[in-house]
Amino acid sequence: MPIVKDLTVDLDKAAILESVQRLQGGPGRQQAWLDVVDQAVDEALALAQPAIAWDIFPVAAAEPSRLIIGDGHALESGVVASLFARAPAVVLMLFTIGPRLEERVAELGKAGDLPTAFVLDMVGSKALGSVGEKGYGLIEEMAKARHTRASIPLNPGTSHWPMSGQRLLAELVGAKEIGVEALDSGVLRPFKTIAFAVALGDDVLTPAEGSSCDFCDRRDLCRG
């Protein structure tokens, strides 16, 4: 179960500022928000503890509502079964930025500094996304080494794959090795943590051809 911790986090201050201003109703008080974003980015880079845990499993069988991998473990999703059925292998991956940033957000909230807490939480999500991009890049390298392709990532906790699926992924990739635990509900802690599955094969749907959102019944509720 490989672990990767030697990671940098990439954050685009201009893009974050634009997102903050959009959510706050426009570019008013630009300098004030810029100062908050500058502080939040610096703090996020200091607090983040990026880490990735992953492993590769052979696809054993595909049933209508689940994909069987490895020694009989079931990914309980009809969409996963349908999209990954013809792939020889699946990569399970979990990535996090650790607990310190969300603990700091909670401290700021309790102190009544809600604007800073709001921006720091947003920056934390961007940092988590950066780690996820690096994780997917590792999977693309695996695919190239096998002279095949990497599929779109699919996550437990979507409309087609119950949140409880995260417990299995956390167990199979050794999540405890990077300080992550799955609660009985399937929720991952630290909360700034994501788990997903990606198929490796010649006949898979790649990010250039589709998105996990295409298979989510709740996509119309997203902000996009």
Model pLDDT for residues 29-85, shown as the tens digit of each residue: 667 788 899 999 999 999 999 999 999 999 999 999 999 999 999 999 999 999 999
- The predicted pLDDT at position 219 comes to 59
In a domain, 218, yes or no: no
CA dihedral defined by 59, 87, 213, 183, rounded to 10 degrees? Answer: 20
In a domain, 154, yes or no: yes
Residues 6+ apart with CB under 8 A from 30: 17, 21
In a domain, 71, yes or no: yes
Q: 3-class DSSP state for residue 66?
A: strand
- The predicted pLDDT at position 224 comes to 45
Q: Residue 131: is its pLDDT beyond 60?
A: yes
List phi, psi (to 5°) of 154.
-125, 135
174: left (phi over 0), alpha (psi -120 to 50) or beta: left
Please report, for the domain that includes residue 132, its CATH number: 3.40.109.40
CA dihedral defined by 185, 195, 159, 206, rounded to 10 degrees? Answer: -170
In a domain, 151, yes or no: yes
- The predicted pLDDT at position 27 comes to 55
Q: Which domain holds residue 7?
A: 3-206
Q: Residue 214: is its pLDDT beyond 90?
A: no
Write out pLDDT tens, residues 10-32. Answer: 999 989 988 887 776 555 566 77
221 band by pLDDT with thresholds 50, 70 and 90 = low
In a domain, 224, yes or no: no
Domain total for the chain?
Answer: 1
In a domain, 215, yes or no: no
In a domain, 212, yes or no: no
- The predicted pLDDT at position 29 comes to 61
- The predicted pLDDT at position 212 comes to 81
Write out pLDDT tens, residues 146-197. Answer: 999 999 999 999 989 999 999 999 999 999 999 999 999 999 999 999 999 9
In a domain, 222, yes or no: no
Mutual angle of helices 30-47 and 114-145, in 10-degree steps: 50
d(CA 62, CA 109): 46
pTM of the model: 0.91
